[in-house]
Amino acid sequence: MKPPHERLLDEQTALFHEITLGRKSGDTEIRFGQPWVAASSIADQYYCEQKVELRRLLGEIETKDKQRGSVAHEELASDALETNQEDLFHIIFSDQLTIAHELLLVSRYKDLILVGQPDAVAFHQGRALFVFEFKFSHSRIPYHSYHVQANVYGKILEGIGFDISTLCYVIALIPSSTKGESTLFTNIVQAVMDNGPQEVTLDIDTSKVYVFPYRSTPAEEDIDWALEYWRSKRDAIPTRNPNKCTRCEYTASCELKPDTYTH
Ligand code: SF4
In this predicted structure, which of 61-65, 86-90, 93-97, 165-169 has the lowest mean pLDDT? 61-65
Residue nearest to atom 7 of ligand 1 (CA): 245
Task: For residue 144, tell me if it sits in a domain.
Answer: yes
pLDDT confidence of 262, banded at 50, 70, 90?
Answer: very low
Residue 263 covered by a domain: no
Tell me the β-bridge partners of 115: 38, 106
In a domain, 94, yes or no: yes
> What count of residues does the chain have?
263
Q: Is residue 257 very low, low, confident or very high in pLDDT (cuts 50, 70, 90)?
A: confident
- β-pair type (120-124, 112-116): unpaired
Ligand 1 pocket check for 56: Cβ under 6 Å: no
Enclosing domain of residue 62 = 4-252
| pLDDT for 235 | 95
Residue 260 lies in a domain: no
Has residue 117 been placed in a domain? Answer: yes
Q: Ligand 1, residues 63, 253, 256, 263: which to mutate, most atoms within 8 A of Cβ?
A: 256
Distance, CA of 154 to chain centre: 9
Question: Is residue 254 within 6 Å of ligand 1 at its C-beta?
Answer: yes
Closest Cα to residue 133, out of 155, 148, 112?
A: 148
Nearest alpha carbon to residue 148 among 42, 257, 70, 53: 42
Q: What is the CATH number of the domain that holds 91?
A: 3.90.320.10
Q: Is residue 258 included in any domain, yes or no?
A: no
User: Does 256 sit in the ligand 1 pocket, CB within 6 Å?
Assistant: yes
Cα–Cα distance for residue pair 43/232, rounded to 1 Å: 18
Q: How far is the CA of 263 from the centre of ligand 1 (A)?
A: 14
In a domain, 261, yes or no: no
User: What does the pLDDT look like over 23-47, one tens digit per residue?
Assistant: 655 566 788 888 889 999 999 999 9
Nearest CA to ligand 1 atom 2: 245
CB 91 within 8 A of CB 200: no
d(CA 119, CA 99): 10
3-class secondary structure, 222: helix
Q: Is the pLDDT of residue 80 over 60?
A: yes
Q: Whose C-alpha lies nearest to ligand 1, atom 5? A: 51
- Residue 238 Cβ < 6 Å to ligand 1: yes
Total domain count, the chain: 1
Would residue 54 be called left, alpha or beta, if left means φ above 0 and alpha means ψ between -120 and 50 degrees?
alpha
